[in-house]
Amino acid sequence: MVEARAKKAAFLREVARELNLANVTVVNLRLEDWSPILHSAQLVTTRALRIDAELLSLVRRFMSTRWSVVSLRDCSSVGLD
């Protein structure tokens, strides 16, 4: 989980700890600063994040060739190849 704000990241860490979510890593960084590892992404989810051309191009740059974006912003799923 990538979260730029430290307080929210602290909350997410607490949730992961309380619920023993062993597979979850909370990263307190802005997405732009965390791009190198994003290469390995197979699935990207986001909510309440404005999906604009800038974000898409940023994500696209780091995705493997087959990828999908699931957006919950307006309750619709968008699958892209």
Give contact residues for another protein (rule: CB under 8 A): 1-5, 7-8, 11-12, 14-15, 18-19, 21, 23-24, 26, 31, 38, 40-49, 59, 70, 72, 75, 77, 79
Output the CA torsion sign for 60, 63, 69, 73: negative
Burial of 81 (0-12, 13-18, 19+ CB in 10 A): exposed
CB of 18 to another protein, least distance (A): 6
CB of 60 to another protein, least distance (A): 13
If you ran DSSP here, which 8-state letter would residue 33 be given?
G
Choose between 49 and 61: whose C-beta lies nearer to another protein: 49
CB of 1 to another protein, least distance (A): 4
Q: CA Rg, the chain, in Å? A: 13
